[in-house]
Structure 1
Amino acid sequence: MSARKDRDRPRVALLHVADRTGIVEFAHALLELGFELIATGPTATALRQAGAAHRSLSEFTGERLPADALALLHPKIVGAIAAEKPGVDLVAVNFYPLAEAAGDPALSQDEVLSYVDPAGPTLLRAAARNFKNVIALCDPDDYAQAVETLKAYDRMLPDRRQTLAAKAFHSAAYYDSTVAQYLGGKWEQFPDEVVVALKKSADLRYGENPHQSGAFYTLSGARPWGLNAARVIQGRPLAYGHYLDLEAAWDLASGFTEPACAVVKLGVPAGFASGPDLARAARRACAVDPRGTFHATAAVNREIDEEAAQALAEERLDCIAAPDFSGKARLILKAKKDARLVTLPSALVAPNELDLRAVAGGMLVQERDQRAYTGELKRTSKRAPSERESAALDVAWRVAMRARSHAAVLARGTAVIGIGSGQTSRLDAVRLAVVKSQERHPILAAGEPLVLASDGALTAEHVDAAAEGGVIAIIHPGGAAEDAEAALAADRHGVALVATGLRHFRL
């Protein structure tokens, strides 16, 4: 913006805002600085009611234009912003919070799309592109500083203009990405370019450690599902680690149709059980690893009733998640002031969701590992697993696919009793699971079959170690060169061995 002595015309500001916070005060301040104002639609109405003089788009262009927002796309408007010698010196544009509309299940797709602003992003990008000559404002919080700077110096320094331009491009990109994420669509292959719009949902006390800052962001434009639909109904706000534990625990518990309880600590399953009633499943899950249950997160796939609440109240849990809590359950758990009660009404993983992981200088992207099986199990031993063994193998397998590799999981019936997770050696994982399975569990029926699941292919050495620990049935991916030797080892011990053909490494 030129200094006052070089100015051969009044300065012009175009105002087109959905969030009208502070716009009237900003307009009056600009008028005092000698700006002429252009406004249309609800912004013009607000200025008119506040007595802030302004011109219409038709008056600015000298042509009769429609009253709707599409008039803002007139070449004379866009050109006045984008030209090397612009006719507009300041542009204040912000957008309707489309993420709120997209997250409202009561609105149809047509109703949501009616909130999409076809002109605002164009104006904002034009101003940001021409930031050396035009001030681009997209945030009401920036109005006051802009006014103070113009009052003091009658201009704005290039560095500040560039900062505001970058913020404007971010705002426009976020807005467009919100629309794209709302419309969704399945990718047949990974696209060459991916833009993800994130909206900060909560500031966290810290990240993984107290010296790390942290925040929780939700996917903008996505319907509420998963952790962005989580609601804390009792206790302090969730911390960074709680979100990770909630995802793992809820994902595991939700994979079962019968009442189930999953206990997770530091992102790793510490216990799991399913059964005819939720209270029994909760007690059995927490008994898997009492030390691991201490300050852990528990998730169940049913409304927590009075009996289940009594079972969970006996444990020192940091977080308890469920689709809902009965009135009596909430009264029982109210006494646990340190425990956070969280409702999670929907599945965590949406169809076609991607798994994103930041690495230095980029991002690794993969499909979410959602399929426990891809087809029929392949029996590689002489003996086939019994019906009860097959049910136990399914439980162990679903837990193993959510543990950290290398992982081995022992289950007796429908309760996990030993987990070896995060080991650099698969043999160590098997041995650790066996050792942990032998430490306790007086409440588990001794007559239930003891089975093992491994997230990776096993060798004869692994089968031997499992059999020595009392395992009578094993499920693993198979597909390795040592499959034949593993089958021979299983036959020597009378162990049933089946292969899924699907590996579930989790790093």
Structure 2
Amino acid sequence: MKKRALISVTDKTGIVEFASGLIGLGYEVVSTGGTMKQLREAGLDCIAIDDVTGFPEILDGRVKTLHPMVHGGLLFRRDDPKHVETVEKMNIQPIDIVCVNLYQFEKALKEGKPMEDMIENIDIGGPSMIRSAAKNFKDVLIVTDPADYNEVLEALKDQKDDYNFRLNLAYKAFSLTGSYDAMISRYFAGVVGDDFPDILNISLKKTEHLRYGENSQQRANAYEDPFVQHTLLDYEQLNGKEISFNNVNDLYGAVALVREFKDQTVTAAIKHSTPCGVAIADTGYDSYVKAYEADPQSIFGGIVAVNYKIDKETALEMKKTFLEIVAAPDFDEEALEVLKKKKNLRILKLKNLDAREAKYDIKYLEGKVLVQDINDKMIDEIKVVTKAQPTPAQLSDMEFGMKVVKFVKSNAICIVKNGVTLAIGGGQTSRVWALENAIHNNQDKDFNGAVLASDAYFPFGDSVETAHKAGISAVIQPGGSIRDQESIDYCDANEMPMVFTGLRHFRH
């Protein structure tokens, strides 16, 4: 009896060549629907699935392979005499190879198909055959990826389809069906409006191998969530070394910060995932120069993200300092020529700067996983709590400062003036220490008339007192401390306007 291969694929890339190779190795091919049609049109002999099952395809193809003649031929153990006796008694012919890939549910999702179409793109027979074959991988070789066709044919030809070869194909097959079901689960979670289901299925696809993690002793790879159609970190690398783990982490902070500025030209410089210089201006050039001058020391070896097309003049300024990454939605040709002269500089063209489809912020803590909404809100309500009213210029700087401080490690404060960061302090265990460090590290700056933004409330009145003594003239903070009145009273006594926003922005 000839060995038998069952082929039923949605992605028909390379399938004629693969089937032809199997036939050349002595296999007979069983096939279904569109796959069978394509193979026969190519001149290949193949057996229709209903000739095997003795039952026609029904219900518009919903039922065609769900049959004991198929799954019996896949699941019986060749080393179990009782199994062998059963299939012989029932005239079930063994199936030795299964080549299946699935209905394109992910593609339908990306195309925004209506629910009726999404349901019809849920494959039933395909995953069933894959799981049956993969469960019995010692006896049945399961092939789910067109990229593996040549390797499989070579292994069969050279009789190298040993246990480990088959085991790896089975592992790949179960990964495929697991990912497929996870995507369907998340689709239905969205349909019923369950943002935090009891079982949260998230399947990730590897996009690239990274040299190492945060430190050289840590292995690392980059993955993406295929359920998110337009990710903020979707980019085209135009130049430079491969991206590192720390690069990606820092890049996210930079690009997410820039995204906050929809109608303003902004430059954000990030070092170790913390903003070190941020500025808005009428032109990209002025914005970059101001951001650089805000902290020319920390920007060295940092990452710069912008929301404008970089021109030659701006590129020439960027070229003067060592930067790890320059990320922008676009570049002039002349700007690219300038930046590419720095061979190792990673130049990234951002594709989805306005993307806001991702739903979750996830922290994996050695087996415990914290899942929360992405912090996509800025201010609940602008509430002036002092007798002194902020000027329009101060209100503008308050909004700017809150957008920046949202991306600083807590406890976080940011001192700004005229749309430029003067000093940033974060990562301290005391809020006033963060403020004192920011002031101390920027003694060359003129804080007179500046605005102080804080990511959370002031537990005591010492922070506003320290700010006032440094020359800061206005404060914006979430409010909510049981001792808010201390800060309000001090501001009133010194004619400092203070605004509450109602939303804190811890970043741990």
Which TM class, normalised by the smaller chain length?
A: 0.7 to 0.9
1:402 aligns with 2:402: no
Which sits farther off after the overlay, 339-348 or 283-292?
339-348
Q: CA 1:416 to 1:116, structure 2 compared with 1: closer, same or farther past 3 Å?
A: same
Structure 2 contact 473–496 (Cα < 8 Å) conserved: yes
Query: What is the TM-score of this pair, normalised by structure 2?
Result: 0.84
Q: CA 1:235 to 1:151, structure 2 compared with 1: closer, same or farther past 3 Å?
A: closer
Matched to 1:307, the amino acid is E
Q: 1:261 maps to which residue?
A: 267
Trace 1:403-442 onto structure 2 (pairs within 5 A): 403-440=408-445
Structure 2 contact 75–133 (Cα < 8 Å) conserved: no
Match of 1:57 among 44, 49, 53: 49
Deviation at 1:308, TM superposition (A): 2.7
Trace 1:16-415 onto structure 2 (pairs within 5 A): 16-18=8-10, 27=19, 35-41=27-33, 43-44=35-36, 47-48=39-40, 53-65=45-57, 70=62, 72-76=64-68, 78-80=70-72, 84=76, 85=83, 87=92, 88-90=94-96, 91-95=98-102, 117=123, 119-131=125-137, 134-139=140-145, 157=163, 164-178=169-183, 185=190, 187-228=193-234, 230-256=235-261, 257-347=263-353, 349-351=355-357, 353-374=359-380, 376-415=381-420
Q: 2:499 maps to which residue?
A: 498
Deviation at 1:122, TM superposition (A): 2.7
Q: Name the CA distance, whole Å, in 2 between partners of 1:338 and 1:439.
A: 33
Deviation at 1:225, TM superposition (A): 3.4
Which sits farther off after the overlay, 113-122 or 412-421?
113-122
Q: CA 1:355 to 1:394, structure 2 compared with 1: closer, same or farther past 3 Å?
A: same
Q: Name the CA distance, whole Å, in 1 between partners of 2:165 and 2:332.
A: 54
What is the SS of the residue equivalent to 1:298?
strand
Matched to 1:60, the amino acid is V
Deviation at 1:481, TM superposition (A): 1.2
What is the SS of the residue equivalent to 1:92?
strand
Q: CA 1:10 to 1:67, structure 2 compared with 1: closer, same or farther past 3 Å?
A: farther
Matched to 2:252, the amino acid is E
Identity across matched positions, percent? 31
Q: Name the CA distance, whole Å, in 2 between partners of 1:100 and 1:238.
A: 28
Structure 1 contact 413–448 (Cα < 8 Å) conserved: no
Q: Name the CA distance, whole Å, in 2 between partners of 1:227 and 1:342.
A: 10
Q: 1:4 maps to which residue?
A: none
Q: CA 1:439 to 1:96, structure 2 compared with 1: closer, same or farther past 3 Å?
A: farther
Q: Name the CA distance, whole Å, in 2 between partners of 1:429 and 1:222.
A: 36
Q: Name the CA distance, whole Å, in 2 between partners of 1:464 and 1:94.
A: 66
What is the SS of the residue equivalent to 1:365?
strand
1:448-480 deviation digits (Å, cap 9, x = unpaired): 721111112112112222222221111111111
Deviation at 1:35, TM superposition (A): 4.7
1:270-291 deviation digits (Å, cap 9, x = unpaired): 1101122221111111112212
Which sits farther off after the overlay, 41-50 or 493-502?
41-50
Q: 1:482 maps to which residue?
A: 483
1:102-140 deviation digits (Å, cap 9, x = unpaired): 6579x9999998876553223212333455664433245
What is the SS of the residue equivalent to 1:318?
strand
Q: Name the CA distance, whole Å, in 2 between partners of 1:333 and 1:154.
A: 50
1:309-341 deviation digits (Å, cap 9, x = unpaired): 333233322211111112332233333333222
1:395-451 deviation digits (Å, cap 9, x = unpaired): 1111111111111111122100111111122121111111233235xxxxx697211
Q: 2:80 maps to which residue?
A: none
Q: Name the CA distance, whole Å, in 2 between partners of 1:402 and 1:394.
A: 14
What is the SS of the residue equivalent to 2:238?
strand
What is the SS of the residue equivalent to 1:170?
helix
Q: Name the CA distance, whole Å, in 2 between partners of 1:345 and 1:48.
A: 42
Q: 2:473 maps to which residue?
A: 472
Deviation at 1:12, TM superposition (A): 3.3
Structure 1 regions of 5+ residues with no counterpart? 1-8, 441-445
Which sits farther off after the overlay, 256-265 or 300-309?
300-309
Q: CA 1:304 to 1:11, structure 2 compared with 1: closer, same or farther past 3 Å?
A: same
Q: Name the CA distance, whole Å, in 2 between partners of 1:108 and 1:52.
A: 37
Query: What is the TM-score of this pair, normalised by structure 1?
Result: 0.84
Deviation at 1:189, TM superposition (A): 4.0
Which sits farther off after the overlay, 250-259 or 364-373?
250-259
Structure 1 contact 41–68 (Cα < 8 Å) conserved: no
Trace 1:438-449 onto structure 2 (pairs within 5 A): 438-440=443-445, 449=449
Deviation at 1:381, TM superposition (A): 2.4
Q: CA 1:249 to 1:114, structure 2 compared with 1: closer, same or farther past 3 Å?
A: same
Q: Name the CA distance, whole Å, in 2 between partners of 1:412 and 1:30.
A: 72
Matched to 1:419, the amino acid is I
Q: Name the CA distance, whole Å, in 1 between partners of 2:176 and 2:336.
A: 42
Structure 2 regions of 5+ residues with no counterpart? 77-82
1:169-188 deviation digits (Å, cap 9, x = unpaired): 21112234445667883744
Structure 2 contact 411–434 (Cα < 8 Å) conserved: yes
Structure 1 contact 81–127 (Cα < 8 Å) conserved: no
Q: CA 1:339 to 1:166, structure 2 compared with 1: closer, same or farther past 3 Å?
A: closer
What is the SS of the residue equivalent to 1:310?
helix
Deviation at 1:16, TM superposition (A): 2.0
Number of residue pairs the alignment of both structures matches: 490
